[in-house]
Amino acid sequence: MEFEREVDARGLSCPLPILRTKKMLAEMKPGQIVRVLATDPGSVKDFQAFAKQTGNELLSQSETADEAFEFFLKRK
């Protein structure tokens, strides 16, 4: 998937992956996509809740070969 920005939150615990993503989304234009990499297992539920609360669209989530979680969010 193509994306404009990326947040590497690997090694960070909750709530830092969400906070860094929120900051990045604030700098982006509507419709742009950010890729987020995180290793915190709680980030899966955190990003689902974050998308619902903020109105930003969680386009996909998956686990990478190096045991990180990958999220693509589209700015509202």
Domain ranges for the chain: 5-58
> What is the predicted pLDDT for the residue at 38?
98
Q: Which residues are catalytic?
A: 14
Question: Structurally, what CATH architecture does the domain formed by 5-58 represent?
Answer: 2-Layer Sandwich (3.30)
Structure confidence at residue 75 (pLDDT): 98
pLDDT digits (tens, 9 = 90+) for 16-71: 999 999 999 999 999 999 999 999 999 999 999 999 999 999 999 999 999 999 99
The model's pTM is 0.96
**pLDDT value, residue 2:** 97
What is the DSSP code string of 4-58?
Answer: SEEEEETTPPTTHHHHHHHHHHHTSPTT-EEEEEE--TTHHHHHHHHHHHH--EE
